[in-house]
Structure 1
């Protein structure tokens, strides 16, 4: 499969690109940053929010699928968040329709449901309604809505992977529930790319964590079989004063007043 990976220069992008190559796929990279020295990838330097630049990439590269990882990782104003996450998704999907590319895999976020209280029993499923905790989360929900529309309107297979806390190891008590290892991230993306005819689907992008707050069954139904467990690192993590706040909602600190701000930036 020849896969366009947006945000290929980021932490998740580098892990996914290496994993896809190891799995026998071809990778075409798209990032706002230039390629790292020595990179042998077909690399396009452009902003995914620039629909014309995206169209040029599709016109120059035969593609089978898109893995959309690009986007600002933190909180912005509402318009900037929508541009970074929702409009980039729309630009890519438009190009996919034009060039008959049928599979779209998206780096969604747990912050799409971040205001949901932590479940007292059981796990949070993909059937729970979106409850974003930030404008970042709102933009991720909006991107999923665009994906759903294009799945219904054009028959594109679109999978949103609501990523928890990606990294080489969990770094807090909350991350014992939310961690996604690099190896499981690759397994997740591979499953989302290759599962037969998913239509529009959502899964939670976490490892097989003993303390998980999210239900992994939706991912397993698509072929995602996580192998790692944050519990292996539990002895290295010390309780902190912020733990109770971070565990009160599934979005953790993103749901606190520290992230309250107006939707629109206004000149003074």
Structure 2
């Protein structure tokens, strides 16, 4: 029998794809769930299931014998309210309910900076904007992330489950796709794995909201809360700064949510 069984939802997505290999450990089985078959099939120390996080029967099976859930499944971009609320909000409730009924002791939920996207960058204090600053979502996507934070709080308070919410800045192989903004928001793949490991090993965290970010020179997000759980970031986006020196700031740069705070997405004026 393994010492630990970890469930990762959204296993075919960007963040899971970046940390999957990094999360392998002797004595740990990683169970992978995604709506589509994985491009890289389950290997040694892995199991896989294919299906939707809104499928209650599937998630009940997925949570059997699991110690911790890292819930990364869901829509990662702006979409219609109907799709966003179904997949991100209802899907998270399904995952939390399945975890609670299976006796899972800890769930890590992937939130986003877009839950507080209309916070101004100049609100940052000495160590950045506090991780538990109240929500100011910038999109339907941001609203869905604010809602899953509330669901996590409910399942902790009602059932005593440890729930750690990570407000992820931007997790890519490098910060270049986001332009200058990425120099502040980047969470490197290695640091993402370090952060998840800290969430898995922290003793009795209760309900916590933390930022998911590397120790970037231009960071505007607090690391105080994540460090209290044992996270020690080792990467800094500033090493990419020269490659972005001539790239102008994008619209919305005065806000945490960047371009998501502008009208560029165009979904609020349907035909």
CA contact (8 A) 2:162 2:205 kept: yes
Match of 2:113 in 1: 110
* 3-state SS of 1:4 partner: strand
CA contact (8 A) 1:173 1:239 kept: no
Match of 1:139 in 2: 144
Taking the aligned partners of 2:49 and 2:124, their CA distance within structure 1 comes to 46
Question: Is residue 31 of structure 2 the alignment partner of residue 45 of structure 1?
Answer: no
Deviations 1:221-249 (A, max 9, x none): 111111100011111113334x1634210
Question: Is residue 103 of structure 2 the alignment partner of residue 96 of structure 1?
Answer: no
Match of 1:252 among 229, 249, 258: 258
Match of 1:193 in 2: 200
Match of 1:34 among 27, 33, 37: 37
CA contact (8 A) 1:134 1:259 kept: no
Aligned-pair CA distance for 1:119: 1.6
Taking the aligned partners of 2:119 and 2:253, their CA distance within structure 1 comes to 11
Taking the aligned partners of 2:26 and 2:198, their CA distance within structure 1 comes to 12
* 3-state SS of 1:159 partner: strand
Of 21-30 and 170-179, the range deviating more from structure 2: 21-30
Question: Is residue 19 of structure 2 the alignment partner of residue 13 of structure 1?
Answer: no
1:185-224 mapped onto 2 (5 Å cutoff) = 185-224=192-231
Taking the aligned partners of 1:261 and 1:162, their CA distance within structure 2 comes to 24
Q: 1:220 to 1:34 in 2, by over 3 A?
A: same
Taking the aligned partners of 1:145 and 1:251, their CA distance within structure 2 comes to 20
Taking the aligned partners of 2:207 and 2:26, their CA distance within structure 1 comes to 24
Match of 1:87 in 2: 90
Aligned-pair CA distance for 1:37: 4.8
| Number of aligned residues | 262
Taking the aligned partners of 1:56 and 1:121, their CA distance within structure 2 comes to 43
Match of 1:149 among 135, 149, 154: 154
CA contact (8 A) 1:108 1:161 kept: yes
* 3-state SS of 2:216 partner: coil
Q: 1:83 to 1:246 in 2, by over 3 A?
A: same
What TM-score does the superposition give when structure 2 sets the normalisation length?
0.91
RMSD of aligned residue pairs (Cα, Å): 1.8
Taking the aligned partners of 1:143 and 1:253, their CA distance within structure 2 comes to 22
CA contact (8 A) 2:250 2:259 kept: no
Taking the aligned partners of 1:229 and 1:15, their CA distance within structure 2 comes to 17
Taking the aligned partners of 2:62 and 2:119, their CA distance within structure 1 comes to 39
Deviations 1:198-242 (A, max 9, x none): 11111111100010011110111111111100011111113334x
Q: 1:121 to 1:103 in 2, by over 3 A?
A: closer
